[in-house]
Chains A and B, each alone.
Chain A
C-alpha cells in the first residue's frame, strides 16, 4: 500500500532560522505530491502540488522540491506566523482516487 512518512515529527526554530521538512513516500507510480498547512482546529490549507522529480514550487518563505523518493519543504527565514503543522500527501498513478497523508511535522517558530 502507498505510504508517506514525514520527519521530524516536531521542529522548533528561532525566527529567521531556516530549515527543511522531509516527506518520504512509497507509491506505485506517482501522480502527484501535495503539501498542506494545518492550523490547530482547522482543515488543511493547500500549499503546493509537485508532479515530477526535479520540480520545484515557491510561495513566500516556502519552497517545495521533489525527488523520486522524497520531497522537502524548505522554510527560509521563518516567522512566528509560519507555526503550524505541515502535511504531505501522495496520489498514486494507479490508485488515483485515494490520497495518502503523512502524520505531519509540527513547526513552532519562536520570536
Chain B
C-alpha cells in the first residue's frame, strides 16, 4: 500500500507564472483536502472534496486558486499568476468517510513552492 503522494515535491517559479500540483490520495479514501503551511505555522485549510464534488472552500482561496478532482480520484491544485506570498508548503490529505462518520486524515509529503 502506498500513502498519499504529491507531485512535484519542489517547485521554483517566477512571479506571474502559473503552477499546478497533483495529489494522489489513498485509493479507497473518498475525501480529499488541500492545505497550505508556512514556516512555523500549522496547516491552513484551503479546500475539501467528497468524491468529485468540491464541498468547501476557504476564503484564503482567492480567484487565482482552483482545484479539481475529476472522477473522484487524483486532485490538482492550480495557482495562476503566482505572487511571492504564495510561497509555502502545499499539503494534500485524504480520509475515509462513511455514513456520517469522519476518520483521521493522512497527509502526503507536500509540495514546496518558492516564488521568486
Q: Interface on A for B, CB 8 Å cutoff?
A: 4, 6, 31-32, 34, 36, 41-46, 49, 87, 89, 91, 96-104
Contacts and interface: CB of A to CB of B under 8 A. Distances in A.
A31 B103 CA distance: 10
Nearest to A46: B104
B57 to A, nearest CB: 10
Interface string B80-96: 00000000000101000
B91 A89 contact: no
Given A98-B45, A98-B48, A103-B40, A34 B104 contact: yes
Interface string B88-116: 00010100000000111111111010000
Nearest to B9: A41
A44 B43 contact: yes
Contact of A99 (B4, B45, B55, B112): B45
Given A43-B91, A44-B107, A46-B104, A89 B55 contact: no
A21 to B, nearest CB: 13
8 contacts: A4-B42, A34-B105, A43-B107, A44-B107, A49-B104, A98-B58, A99-B45, A101-B35
Contacts of A97: 48, 55-56
A105 B44 CA distance: 16
A102 B91 CA distance: 15
A96 B50 CA distance: 12
A96 B43 CA distance: 16
B48 A43 contact: no
A103 B42 contact: yes
A23 to B, nearest CB: 11
Contacts of B110: 41-43
A101 B43 contact: yes
